[in-house]
Each structure stands twice: as structure tokens, then as C-alpha cells.
Structure 1
Amino acid sequence: MKVELAQLAGQDNGTAYNLQRALAAIAACAADTQLIVFPETHLMGFPSAETVAQVAEPLDGPTVQAVQQAAREHNIAVAIGVAENDNGKFYNTTLLITPEGIALKYRKTHLWASDRGVFTPGDRFATCEWNGVRVGLLICYDIEFPETARAVAQLGADLIIVTNGNMDPYGPTHRTAIMARAQENQAFAVMVNRVGSGDGDLLFAGGSALVDPFGTLLHESGREEGQVTVELDFSQLAKARRDYRYLNDQRLRLPGEVIEHADGRRELLIPR
């Protein structure tokens, strides 16, 4: 599978600009690319408590619809972050959009300091079946908690997609975390981070990455904008899981109700 990593700068509260950059990146994909991945909340940037009500949109709003149309026109799947407005509740959400529509939605469960007071934490993890691969989504700070990747792994994930908004000085933290999350769950991990500056004195760290199921770093971007193609060889899954399987051997499983949907989605509800 060929995947493109769209490591872009963005504008906080700059939906029109961010959408234009996303649509241009989708249009620039190679004909054989199956998936393009963008950073955390790419479409709106990071709103504040004062701006989120004006910036966040419902998932049937014009911005997500524009990305859905682009996915159909270019016959490609898109993983992209949004600021979601669900009847006055605001979420830091990542979507997997295919030519058929929204295949998977994930609301960030572990809120970073700047998310708190802006977004509501999500209450579940989820995976879906896409192109014969079971995909799970995570967002930025989530990957610093081993339980998040284990949750989507318990739901069968072969590929963990992480939309990232990680800033200095924490780039090395996420480099270590993404390798560990892939290795301990014997799954591929794709992480795409933002670059450039943000509100205040933030400087986003880049370092978008592809990690194989052995925890080997196959690609790592620098700190500049770029759109690079990586290739995932899913035969590596069987090799990584041949001699032992952590999910089978673990003595403790994460609690929570598992919901199986008719469309192939699986959800693990976080216990209250």
C-alpha cells in the first residue's frame, strides 16, 4: 500500500487556508496512492476557548464535505483532523474519509494542556475495515499512553494512523512513543505531524514517521514542509506475529464494552 504523508504548516483558526492546502495536497497525490494522512486538527488549526464555537463545524458541514468530494474525485482515502461541533460540544476529531464517505471517526481521548477547556474528551476507541486492512486512529498526546494503541489493537488494528500536532521540545518523545506503540502491538504505525509556528511561541516539531510491526523506523521526515510517499508491506504483519503474539499472551486486557457494527466498525467504550 502506498501512503503519502502530508507534513504541512497550518494556520490556527484558518479554515479556508488549511482546506485549500489539503485539497492541493490531495490533488497532487500519485495515481497509485491509496491514502494520504494530514496532521492533527489540520482543517481548522487549533482553536482557543474563545474561538472554538466560531471555528468548529459539524461533520456534515462544508469543510468536511469539500474533503469528501476530493476523496471521491481522486479515488483516495484521507485521514485528516478537524475541530468538530456536535450540537454545541466540541471535539478534537480525526476522520478516515474514503471515496464512499466517512469510514471512521475518532475523538481524542487524552487531552493535552492546550486542549482542555476547548474540547471534550472522546469516550471510545474505534477501528474499521478498509481495503482489506483494519485501521485504528489516534491523535497526538494519545500515543504517550500505551493503553490507547493497545485499545485499537484489541479491536484488531493492523494499521494505526496518528494525526499529530506535537511541538518542541517534545519531538523525541513522540519518536520513541510511536516506535514503541507499533512494536508492542505488532502493527504498522503512520504518524503525520505539523511543522512551522503556531499561536504564541509554539514551534511544531515535524518528524512524521512510518514504523513497521517490529518497531523499526522505516521513514522519518525532517522539520520542513513536504509530501512524501511511503510503502507498507503488509506481509510483515504475519512475520512479526509468527513466533509470538502479544495480544494472545497478555494476562490483563483493557476493560470496556466492545460494540460490533454491521458495517465492520468496532468500538471499545471507555468505562466510566
Structure 2
Amino acid sequence: LAAVQMRSAYGEVEANLVKAEGLVRSAAEAGAKLVVLPELFNTGYGYTPANYDLVETRAGRTYGWLTGLAAELGIHLAGSFLLRKGEDVFNTLLLAAPDGQTWEYDKTHPWGWERAYFCPGKGPLIAETALGKIGMLICYDVAYPDLFAAYAGKIQLLLVSSCPPKINHMKIHFPEGREVASEETGAVARAMQGSVDLVFAENLREQTAWLGVPMLNAMPYGEFASPVPRARVSFGATVMSVPRLWKLIGQADQATITAGYNEHTQIAGRDGQVLAKPPAGDAFALAEVEIPATPPQPAIPQPQMNLHPAARWVSSLLSWLVLPEYKKHLK
């Protein structure tokens, strides 16, 4: 198995596909039978109106690229991108088999500002492949124990594609040079500080061990920078308890947020222990794993998540605040 770590240039689809192809080919040459790419690997990750123009269809560039490369290399290949289905847009993790068969998992839980660009999926999906029964999740989905529970006793491998900026450690840059760190925006932000990091590392591996299946998770690396949708409303909601920051709300439309990414590209075994991580930069983790012959049944109670309740509250609030943007652009 191979989990790709790559940095995508925002909006540069062709350049990103060229980079991804080189990494996928190298992984296949190294013996990988399944390769997973990071969330939104084809477009990069950002919160701008450009996302509406980057949406594709099944007849689009990325869908054909994934299915074509999987067939050419004789591998299973997975990657996430914005896909229009009917009247709605989803963040879809497409898994392509070498024989042309495909499976589409739509991200169940868009995080916060992501709701301005795509809608929630309908929940877990099991891909019955030649490699076994594969469950799929995208990024913030891993913060929800019920999704792992839905896969319990039904899958032999867990595939995750992620692209999580460290929003709990972000900085907000205003046009006149003022910089505000996330912990300055109030008690809620401070409460979230440590727990989010655990979700994509220790917590994910604990859930994997509970399921008793191998897991691979692909992520980007480096720094993230972006404006945000409905910036005045979003910023106003986050600083409502800090009067000294209210004067900055009027500048929010010109502000940019920056943060590092959670860099936890990894492959874990059935016991949740890390088998492989990639070297620095554009690279991939590669490991030989034991896929159980049949879906194992959990033998212990499901582990608890360390995610602070404030994190879900913030995500839900921001999603609600930016939903009008999705509805407006969908028309």
C-alpha cells in the first residue's frame, strides 16, 4: 500500500496532476497495489470563490485521470476532488480499480467553511474490491466515532484522504499588518488547541486498532493560506467574546488566514501501530500490510475521541454561517 504526501498548488489542476502522476507511478514501481492521494489533490485546498469553477463532472479531467492511470498501472487508485452530481456538489473520494470499476464516497462531514463549496454526503460506503472490502473516509470524518462504528465488522481495510489545516493554530492577517493568533479569539479557540491534533494521529490509529484493519491516510504538507467566505460574519462570530477585537471586523474581508497542515501521512497495521511514514516533501509512505481474510469483529469497547466539544460547535456554527454562499453559487 502507498499513501502519497504532496503539496498541491491551489487552482493549478494540470500541474497538480503531473506531480501526482509522478508519485503514483513511483509508488506502483515500488510494488504498491493500492495508492491513495490527499484530499482535493487536484485543486489544492482553499476557501475562495475559485472553488466553484474547479468543480468537475464524471466526464471531467480528474475522473478520467484517476480511472485511466489505475488501468494503465494495474493498481487501485484513490483521490478526492469536487464533483457535481445532479444539482449538488460533493467532495468525492473516487476509488478506481484496474478493471475500470469505481466507487464514490462523498465526505459526510464538511468542516466549517467547506460548507460554502460542497454539501454533506450520505454516510459510509464499502468498496468490495479484489483487495478486500474497503471503507473510506475524508479528513474531518475521522472525528466522528459513529462512522467507524458503521464500518465495524464489515471492512478489511480503511482508506482515508485528508487535507486538514491546523485551524486551531491559525493566524489571521489583517491589511494594516495586524496579526491575531487563534488563541486570542477567545476561550473556545483556546479549548480546542490540543485536541484537534490528536484526532488525525493517535485517535485515528486507536479507531483503526479497534476495527482490527490496516489503515492508510494521505495528507499534504507545508503551509496553508486563504481568505474565508463571509469573512465579517465568520470573524465576528469567533471574536464575540473579545471586545478589543471587534474593531477588526470591518477589515475581515481583506484578511487572510495562515496555518500549517496536520502532517500525518501514514500507514498503520491492524494493531494501530505505524508501519510507514513518508520522508519530507513530495513523497509517499509504502508498506506491506496484512489484510484480514474476513472483516474482523471488534473485541473491545470503542475508544473515545479526544476532540473537544468546542471544535464541533465551531465547525457547525461556521457551516451554518456560510451555507448561503453555497446556495447562492449553486444557482
TM range (shorter): 0.7 to 0.9
TM-score, normalised to structure 1's length?
0.80
Change (3 A) 1:73 1:63: same
- Residue 21 of structure 2: aligned partner: 23
Please give the TM-score of this superposition, normalised by the length of structure 2: 0.67
Give the partner amino acid of 1:23: E
Separation in structure 2 between the aligned mates of residue 124 and residue 87 of structure 1, nearest angstrom:
18
The 8 Å contact of residues 142 and 148 in structure 1, kept in 2 or not, is answered as yes
The percentage of counterpart residues that share the same residue type is 20
Which structure ranks higher in relative contact order (CA pairs < 8 Å, sequence separation ≥ 6)? 2
Question: Is the alpha carbon distance of 1:88 and 1:48 closer, same or farther for their aligned partners in structure 2, counting shifts above 3 Å?
Answer: farther
Contact 1:49–1:117 at 8 Å: present in 2 too? no
Equivalent in the alignment of 1:109: 108
Structure having the higher strand fraction is: 1
Change (3 A) 1:222 1:172: farther
Measured in 2, the distance between the counterparts of 1:32 and 1:211 equals 17
Q: Indicate how the Cα distance of structure 1 residues 60 and 151 shifts in structure 2: closer, same or farther if over 3 A, else same.
A: farther
Tell me the amino acid that sits aligned with residue 55 of structure 1.
Answer: L
* Alignment-derived partner of residue 74 in structure 1: 73
> Is 1:165 the counterpart of 2:163 in the alignment?
yes
Aligned to 1:234: 291
Is the CA contact (8 Å cut-off) linking 1:205 and 1:223 kept in structure 2? no
CA positional deviation for 1:160: 0.7
Q: Which amino acid aligns with 2:21?
A: L
CA RMSD of aligned residues (A): 2.4
Q: CA deviation at 1:212?
A: 2.0
Relative to structure 1, is the Cα distance of residues 102 and 166 closer, same or farther in structure 2, using a 3 angstrom cutoff? farther
Aligned CA distance change for structure 1 residues 128 and 20 (closer, same or farther; 3 Å): same
What pairs with 1:45-194 in structure 2 (closer than 5 Å)?
A: 45-48=44-47, 50-153=49-152, 156-168=154-166, 169=169, 170-194=196-220
CA spacing shift, 1:230–1:60, aligned 2, 3 Å: same
Tell whether the 8 Å contact from 1:6 to 1:226 is kept in structure 2 after alignment.
yes
Hey, what does 1:12 align to over in structure 2?
A: 10
3-state DSSP of counterpart to 1:72:
helix
The CA distance in 2 between the partners of 1:166 and 1:223, in whole Å, is: 17
User: Counterpart of 2:114 in 1: which secondary structure?
Assistant: coil
1:184 maps to amino acid: W
> Which residue in 2 is equivalent to 1:205?
262
Task: Give the length in aligned residue pairs.
Answer: 242
Q: Structure 1: 5+ residue runs without aligned partners?
A: 251-272
Choose 199-208 or 221-230, whichever is displaced more: 221-230
2:213 is aligned with what amino acid? A
Unaligned runs of 5+ in 2: 170-195, 227-257, 303-331
1:246 counterpart = 2:246: no
The separation in 2 between residues aligned to 1:192 and 1:144, in whole angstroms, is: 16
